[in-house]
Structures are given as structure tokens and as C-alpha cells.
Structure 1
Amino acid sequence: MKPTRRLALSSILGATLAFAAVPASAQSPAAASTFRLVPTSELKVLDPTWTTAVVTRNHGYMIYDTLFGTDAKGKIQPQMVESFTTSSDGKTWTFKLRPSLAFHDGKPVTAEDVLASLARWAKRDPMGQRMYAAMAKAEAVSSNSFRFIFNEPYGAVLESLGKPSSLVPFIMPKRMADTPADQQVSEHVGSGPYTFKADEFRPGERTVYLKNEKYVPRAEAPSGTTGGKVVKVARVEWVVLKDAQTQVNALVNGEVDLLEAVPFEHYNALKANNRITVAEAAGGQYLLRFNHLVPPFNDVRVRQAAMLSMNQEALLKTQVGIPALYKTCLSVYPCGSPLASNKTPGLSEKPQFSKAKELLKAAGYKGQPVVLLHATDNSSLAKLPPLVAQLLRQGGFVVDLKSMDWGSVVARRAKKEPADQGGWNAFVTYWGAEDALSPLNYAPLSANGEAGWFGWASDERLEQLRASFAQATTDAERKKLGEDIQFRAYEIGAFAPLGELMRPMAYRKGAISGVLAGSTNVYWNVSKP
């Protein structure tokens, strides 16, 4: 029988595991030890403002810091900011940075660094774009304070600056932040709890971070992406192991300490191993994203035909296979969350191949191959694209399945050339549920064309609805607008929802402690006996 377990908000936003968090002031110095983990995928893109890839976001949290963060209960908390005020009319926000903030090169963090970082981030992030569009001015007040002046009161300031995932507004030196938003930064200098060991970076093999000895953590206990980022190990190594069995063997044999994502086929065995802790920490959603710029998915009827060809139950059973870890869900927002809606124009959990073929005929589809990207090394995704290809074929499509590693998918999906010139038509991806809670933050709902997320959907009505959501002041208004946004997103075929899952992580009992489990992977507070 299909499980009805809801993705509880506490699971969505993360929770600290059994190890008690101790305030930063009570921690002992880090031992000279190395913490080894297997990331969800290979790190290829090092610029966290350039891509929404989870592994790049996690890299960002290692070396950069943020003005605000989101705690384990979903509340926005100050991080680099010491204090802030708002004017009586709600239009002016003034922020003061906390003392002792410094980049890895020894230079102090200034308001100019912050403003440059945010300006670059806002060119790529949907929430940043919307916030800056509502802003009259962003300016420095002093070397360690700055302010935003809005044309009208804007209610999503903290929600934007403290967002935990997707394109996180990480702060970097101005010289780096001045890099055009469509180019990647060439340096990797932050002010966060770890430093990046560039000379030991081996793409496809390992990434190395060292403790930032000069980092001054906050005094609060760690929670989510906030609180005291206390580093208790001298070195962290991300070890790339692309084969699922090799990953599990490395964990069981003590060669690595943690797997960010348990291969689903090994879930039951690891769960039964009394030397391993399996934590069902992260909730999220699968989706099939279309390239709206190039044929054939530049026609809404073709996108709708692909959506009608999907079969969530079959896809989830194939990829996840463990009923306790997945469920079908047609909402663009996590089922069970405040904005979840069952208003889906024409969509159902079962495929509608005849209707899909009718739409393709009406669109004049001539059988041109659809290039579908297939990440073979990402155990949380690898089984989905072949079945998606099969379902598309049943719906009347010709499909060219291109197999590659996830890092190559991340690089290729940024290309806007036609599919037969090195571009793409569709790819399968995963989004953490914390991203999908709000239509302002959920990049697949952006519809501002080439300034938006990969796939570059363009729809003025959808953008108007999202703008209204940003100005809404009541839960009832947001609920109604959230439903309208979902309905419109499905009308234009923004993407096809493929269902929900939980992504368990695993680590060796007694080998490490202090793991902060949640949908955002952070590695401060971890210690080794």
C-alpha cells in the first residue's frame, strides 16, 4: 500500500542528529585529524553563484560565509550580520557587520565586498533579481555597514539573504564579485570556516579543505546554516567514488567516514549494519526540465506532451525502490507544506500517451531527436533518465539519451546552443524541499527568459504572479497566489514533476560525531575521536 507519510517541515528544513550541540565558547580546539566523505557527485564548478548544483552549494558553505542563514526550524538568523534595523515606513533596511570578519587572504570584509557580492548574485538568482528590481538603491553607510532603500516596503528581504540553498548569497571579495555574472570566478577566497586547498584539487578524485584558523565563529550553537561554525578537524577530504558498491565498501571498511547520499539499492543493508548510522535527513523532489529556447521544447504543446508522458509511480519505484522513501506528488511545492496544491491542469499520476501524441501532431513535431542528458555517476538520479526516455518514446518522441557524469551535465545545461550543436533539450534533476517551499526561491518557477534558470522559461503572467506573491502580506493571499503560480507553471510547461523522495545519508558510528543532518550539507561541528 502506498505510504501516506508526509514530508514534515522538520525533515524538510533539517534537524541536528543525536549528538548534542555545544556553544562555540565551550568547544575544544580541533584535533589534527582528517574527515573523509563521499559527496553526492563530482565537484567541477567551483563558483557557487554560477550554478545551482548541490555539490557546488556545499563547496560554497565550506569556504564562504553568508549575511544570514536558516536554522533547523526554518527561521532566518543573522550570521555575518551583527545587527539590522528597518525604517518606520518599511522601505529602508540598514545592516551592520559583526567584527573580526576577514577573508582567507587576511583582508577585512567590508560593506563594499558585500554589496558587490550581492549585486553579482542578484543577476543570477530569481529571489535576488526580484529583490533588486524592487530596490531604489543599495549603498555603503560605512566600512562595516550598508543599507537597502526600496521603492515600496518589501517583505522578503531576510528570506532572500538567508536562503539556505540553490544560489546562496555567499560573500566574496569585491575583486572576485566584480567578475561578470555569466563568467566563473578564477579565485576561490572566502571568509568561511574552511579554506580551499587549490593545489590539492583533483577533479574526479578529491577536493581538500583546511581549517581556517583565523575564523571567528558566532557564540550560538550550530543550527541549520546558522550559529557557531566551529571547525573541529584539521582537514576535510571529499573523495569521489562513482560506483555505488565502492562507496558502500569504503564506508563499511572505514576508508571514508560519511556518504552524503546512500545508494538506494544498499539502503536496507546499511540500515541493518549496527556499525552504521543511516539518517533520513533530506527531503526533495525530482523534475524533468525542458529547454524552452530551442526546438522542439520551444513549443508549449511539445512540453505538455512530455509532461503527459510521465509516470511518477514507475519512475520512483525504479529510482528509489523503497516505498518508505518516496511518494507521488503533483504539487510544485512539497506535499504537506503550506502552499501544496492539487490544482494541476490536465496532469495526473498516470501517463496519457494518446493525448501526448495528439499534442505532438498538432505542434507539427517531425520526429527530431530530443537530447536528454543522463548523469550516470549520481546514484540519486542515474536510473531516472533511461526510463524517462522510454516514457517519452511511448508518448511519440524520438529520444537521444546522452550519458555523462553529473559534472558534465551541470556544465552542458548552461549551453544555449541547439541540441545538435552541443546543447540539450531536457535533463532530470533533484531539488531539496527547502527550495520548493516558496515560489520566490524555487528557480524552476522562474519565467524571466535568459536571465532565469537553465531552461530559460519566459512568461510574463507567471512573473507577475510571483511579483504579487513577494508583496503579499497574509497567508491567505500567499496560498491563493501560490496555487495560481502552480497552475500557470503547468499551463506553460515549465517542467514535469516526477515525485518526492527522502535522501538518506550514512556515517560510521564512533568514527565521527556532531553531524548536522539536514537538507543542506554543512560540515562544521563534526569531530573525530
Structure 2
Amino acid sequence: MNGRNILIFIMAIILLSILGCSQSNDSTKENDETQVAENTDAELKIAITSQPTTLDVHTTGDALTRDVAIHIYETLITLNADYQPVPMLAESVEKSEDGKTYTFKLREGVQFHNGKEMKAEDVLASMNRWKERSTIAQEHLHDAAFETQDDYTVVLQLQNPRLDLLDLLAGQDFFPAIMPKEIIEDAGDDFVKEYVGTGPFQFVDWLQDQYVHLARFDDYTFDDSPADGLAGKKEALVKDLYFYKTQDPSTLLTGLQTGEFDIAYSIAFDHYDQVKNDPNFNVYSAYFGTMNLVYNKKEGLFSDVKMRQAVNAALNASDIMLGAFASEELYGFGSSYMNEKVVNWYSEAGQEGFNQNNTEKAKQLLEEAGYNGEEITLLSNRDIPYHYDIAVIVQEQLNQLGMNVNLEVFDWAAHIERRDDPDYWDIVTAGINYPAVPSTLVSLAPNWPGWTDDTKIAGLLEEIISSDSLSEGKEKWDELQGYAWTEYVPFTQFGSVPIIMAAKSSIEGLQVMDRPIMMPLWNTKVNEE
């Protein structure tokens, strides 16, 4: 082969290589485009342990209602990944110098699922109904007045300034969803008859005791800022969401393994290792709140603070949590009443009162209280296994101290009925959900079982609310939590309890956060397996 022919041969090889690469790249691009198209038509089948009580979020703090409804409804203000309040349907918020007037400028062009544009009249109707129906709004914002200024401006007037006002409006228990005015008017004093919001998914169907079906809302007008908790960009990357009621833990696990479900909202702790070690799944933990021993402070033995201090000093929280959950991977451990991820309110104040395991101190306090072997009724239930396991360990620890503890166990409904009756029990196992702000921590409320009716706690909560700055409010919260742990002792906290969730490894973009946010399913896509 002469030099000219060699040059032609080399050029031909290069040309073929270029053509080959080009075809390969075009093919890959076509495959990628095909995959994206296929993924946008995908559906997610989610197993949940029960069905929601309703999807009328103004009327209930039910966790499953919230977990489904956050895909349908949006609020003026929402929570970012640090659990801080930020605008959502409000484009901006202005607060007056005296802190009593808030002006919300609404985003324009936001569409409801029924095709109507959201305007101030819808926000006014929604917020007024929320004020009337939500127990949180009734307790904290009964004196608030909403009014419209124009089609895209709503004003909130308070009698007194509140440091936590925006936190309350961003709250996810009984959350203030914005709905069309006519749907609210049609509901009257009843539940809303149509579930229409502005979220990335719209309600399609609810087959009782089987599933709730939501579908992508193609006209959703999302915020283009980066996704951040419940704020920012929310894009429906799948076509349908099906939330299937699946109460039996074994059925849930089998359904996940066979592909009947793509996501499971609550894996039984007994199945944790099995799912964790399966390469077909990704496993997530999200803390919903804390596990506690609550004292009946309204009447009986534990209306005496020294009795509460004695039990709190005696209990070994490390042994209690490990005994109930078997693995340190399955629980959190700490003294803060607020989730550590709630950056504005996390506190370590009073931690010297946590997990003391000090029997000598406990015996001295029992003597000072004049305890003489009277029977103590410990109330618990078997429906939530770790409630029962914790109760058994608490009973054993206190009996070893010389206390006479009688454990009474019921099903969940009977347990709740008796828990509400101060004549029935002395101490009770209780889970307490994490709030986004201290003022809504139910265990510090005088009307919640345990009946924390204390002048200093009430006064400090009021000072927190009326503080001029977050730093001032945080100082008061530190003081309150320190006082609660070391002096008043409304309850004894053992640790944080997770919900274990699992998803197929083909699912990407899943955002899992602690309560009160949990697992929003926008920005989540399904890859080909």
C-alpha cells in the first residue's frame, strides 16, 4: 500500500469512527428522550398503614390526611428544609413596625385544579374557615382578622404581635390550605365536598378502604426557585399517585417485594433489616416525634412535683429505648423537646435532667414526697408494640425502685378514651409529635392529657410569643425547657421515634424529612429498571 492509499485508508477509518460515534450519540439521545417520555407517564403506588380520615385539612391534624393532602393543597406560607416559614402562594410578606399587621402579596396567575385563578377572595374565605375549624387557629389566632385589599393582596390584623405568626400559618397540623371560595361556601358547616387546591397533583378518586388516587396537574404554576423542604420548585414528574391502605405489616412487605407497591410509608421495625439489606430498595428514617412517660398532674400521686422528679431521676432512658427498639439505628436519643433540625428552636437546656438513672436521688425524692407504696396505674396499649414494650420496662425499673406499679393495657381506642380521663391513670406512655414552633407543642398545653397547667410555663410561652426577636424568644424557650426538665417535669422524654420508609431503588429524587414534613412526592421520578 503506497503512502497515498495509506492516508485514504486512515481517513476512511476516522470518518467511520466519527459516523459511528454520531450514530451512537444520537441513539443514546433518542433512548434518553424515550426514557424521559416513559417516566413522565409513570405512576407511583404508595402503601400507607390506614386511609385518611378526610382530605379536608382545615378540620383535622391526622398525619395521613396531611401526607396525602400536601400534594393537593398549598398555603400562603410554608416550611423550608430548616423548618423555617417562607412564602409559597404569597409572593411576599410585609410586617408593620408594631408587628400587628401582615400584608400578603399573592402570586398572580396561580391556577386552581378547577381552572379558576386564585385571588384574594379565595384566600380570605380559606383563612376565615381555617380560623373557625382548626383547633390550632382557634387557640392561637382567635382574635386575628383577615381582609382583602385588592385582587392580589390580603391583610391580616392581630390584636397583639406574635413572634410565631408565620410559623402558625406554615404549620402542617390542621394546615391552612387555600381552596376556591365557592367550594368553601358550598361546604357550609360540613366538610368540603370537593378537594380542589393549587398543588402539583389533583384529586381524582377515593375508593374507601382501598386507595386515594391523585394525578399530575398539568397547569400547575410552580415556583422556579430551588426545591427546599415544602418550598421552591415542585414538579410532578410522574403522572399518577395511588395511596393504598395496607394495614398488615406482612402484606405491606410482600407487596413491596413483589412490585405491587413502589413506596411503603411505614415498614414494621421487625422488617427493617430485611428491607435494608435488599439491594432493590432504599430505606429512609424520618422522626415523627418523641416517646415519653406523661404524668397526670391534674390529680392523684403525680400532682406532687417531687413524685414526678423521683420517677424522672430513676428512669434509665438508654435501656428503655434499646429494649423497645432492639437497635440504636431505630431511634434517636436526646433531651430537646424540639427536633434538632428545627434550627430556630432546637435546645439543649435542661439536659442534666435527662436520662439520670439515679436511684439514690429518686429514693430521696420519694421519701420527701411521702410515698408509702400506693398503687400507681401505668396506662399503655398493645396496638403500637413499642408503647407496650416501653411500659413493661418502665414498670420493671420503678418496681425495682420500690414503687408499686400496675400496668393496664388496652387496644388503641380504649387507651385513648381512658387517657382522656384523669380519674383513670397516674402515668401513661405517649408519643408526642414534633411541631415547628414551641407554642404548638401539645404536651405543654393545659387541655392535653397530662394537663400541664403551670403558671411559669404559661407565662414563658406567652413571653416567647410576644418577643421582639427570634433570639429573645429562643432565650425564653431555653429557660422554659430547662425549667421543665429540672423542676416542673411535665413528662419524661426517652428519645425520638422514626417512621421507616422504603422505596424501589429505581426511584430518584425522593425527599424524606422529619415531621411535620415527611415525604413529598413531587420532584420524584421513576427510572427504567
TM-score class, shorter:
0.7 to 0.9
Give the CA deviation at 1:211: 3.4
- On the 8 A contact 1:264/1:380 being kept in 2, the answer is no
> What corresponds to 2:77 in structure 1?
68
| In 1, Cα distance between equivalents of 2:426 and 2:62 | 17
| In 1, Cα distance between equivalents of 2:431 and 2:272 | 21
- On the 8 A contact 1:65/1:80 being kept in 2, the answer is yes
Aligned counterpart for 1:224 among listed residues 226, 229, 236: 229
- 2:178 partner amino acid: I
- On the 8 A contact 1:290/1:494 being kept in 2, the answer is yes
Q: Can you list the C-alpha shifts for 1:106-135, whole angstroms capped at 9, x where unaligned?
A: 5654132233144136x5227x744555x5
The two structures have a TM-score, normalised by structure 2, of 0.74
Change (3 A) 1:296 1:168: farther
> What corresponds to 1:3 in structure 2?
none
- On the 8 A contact 1:51/1:167 being kept in 2, the answer is yes
Aligned counterpart for 1:318 among listed residues 323, 331, 348: 323
Give the CA deviation at 1:497: 0.6
Give the CA deviation at 1:69: 1.4
Decide which structure has the larger Cα Rg and report it: 2
- The aligned runs of 1:422-461 (5 Å cut-off) are 426-432=428-434, 435=435, 438-445=437-444, 447=445, 449-450=446-447, 453=448, 455-461=450-456
> What corresponds to 1:185 in structure 2?
191
1:93 aligns with 2:102: yes
- On the 8 A contact 1:296/1:365 being kept in 2, the answer is no
- On the 8 A contact 2:315/2:357 being kept in 1, the answer is yes
Aligned counterpart for 1:171 among listed residues 174, 178, 181: 178
Give the CA deviation at 1:96: 2.4
Change (3 A) 1:459 1:83: same
| In 2, Cα distance between equivalents of 1:282 and 1:367 | 34
- On the 8 A contact 1:439/1:485 being kept in 2, the answer is no
Change (3 A) 1:414 1:528: farther
Give the CA deviation at 1:312: 1.5
- The aligned runs of 1:79-90 (5 Å cut-off) are 79-90=88-99
> What corresponds to 1:146 in structure 2?
154
Aligned counterpart for 1:260 among listed residues 265, 268, 273: 265
Change (3 A) 1:486 1:187: farther
Q: Can you list the C-alpha shifts for 1:171-225, whole angstroms capped at 9, x where unaligned?
A: 34567768999x98364624033344554121xx443333345543333343211
- 1:277 partner amino acid: N
- On the 8 A contact 1:125/1:167 being kept in 2, the answer is yes
Change (3 A) 1:92 1:263: same
Give the CA deviation at 1:268: 3.3
Counterpart secondary structure, 1:517: coil
The two structures have a TM-score, normalised by structure 1, of 0.74
Counterpart secondary structure, 1:483: helix
Counterpart secondary structure, 1:313: helix
Q: Can you list the C-alpha shifts for 1:345-388, whole angstroms capped at 9, x where unaligned?
A: 855442756468658865x9964744424433xx7767445545
Sequence identity percentage: 21
| In 1, Cα distance between equivalents of 2:443 and 2:163 | 22
Change (3 A) 1:476 1:104: closer
> What corresponds to 2:208 in structure 1?
201
Mean Cα displacement is larger for which, 389-398 or 86-95? 389-398
- On the 8 A contact 2:127/2:146 being kept in 1, the answer is yes
Give the CA deviation at 1:481: 1.2
> What corresponds to 1:505 in structure 2?
501
Q: Can you list the C-alpha shifts for 1:284-335, whole angstroms capped at 9, x where unaligned?
A: 4323345666767666566556645643212221333322454432332346
- On the 8 A contact 1:105/1:189 being kept in 2, the answer is no
- 2:195 partner amino acid: V
- On the 8 A contact 1:285/1:501 being kept in 2, the answer is yes
1:125 aligns with 2:136: yes
- Higher RCO (CA < 8 A, seq sep 6+): 1
Aligned counterpart for 1:470 among listed residues 465, 485, 491: 465
Change (3 A) 1:424 1:37: farther
Give the CA deviation at 1:488: 3.9
- On the 8 A contact 1:313/1:349 being kept in 2, the answer is no
Mean Cα displacement is larger for which, 386-395 or 492-501? 386-395
Change (3 A) 1:334 1:277: same
| In 1, Cα distance between equivalents of 2:429 and 2:183 | 30
> What corresponds to 2:29 in structure 1?
none
Q: Can you list the C-alpha shifts for 1:368-409, whole angstroms capped at 9, x where unaligned?
A: 744424433xx77674455455556664332311123xxx58
> What corresponds to 2:408 in structure 1?
400
> What corresponds to 1:55 in structure 2?
64
Give the CA deviation at 1:460: 3.2
1:35 aligns with 2:30: no
| In 2, Cα distance between equivalents of 1:303 and 1:470 | 28
- 2:126 partner amino acid: V
Change (3 A) 1:279 1:149: same
- Which has the larger helix fraction? 2
Change (3 A) 1:36 1:171: same
Give the CA deviation at 1:236: 1.8
Unpaired runs of at least 5, structure 2: 1-35
| In 2, Cα distance between equivalents of 1:401 and 1:426 | 10
Give the CA deviation at 1:275: 1.7
- On the 8 A contact 1:193/1:231 being kept in 2, the answer is yes
| In 2, Cα distance between equivalents of 1:245 and 1:429 | 24
> What corresponds to 1:16 in structure 2?
none
> What corresponds to 1:526 in structure 2?
524
Give the CA deviation at 1:98: 2.2
Change (3 A) 1:311 1:513: same
> What corresponds to 1:8 in structure 2?
none
Counterpart secondary structure, 2:520: coil
> What corresponds to 1:10 in structure 2?
none
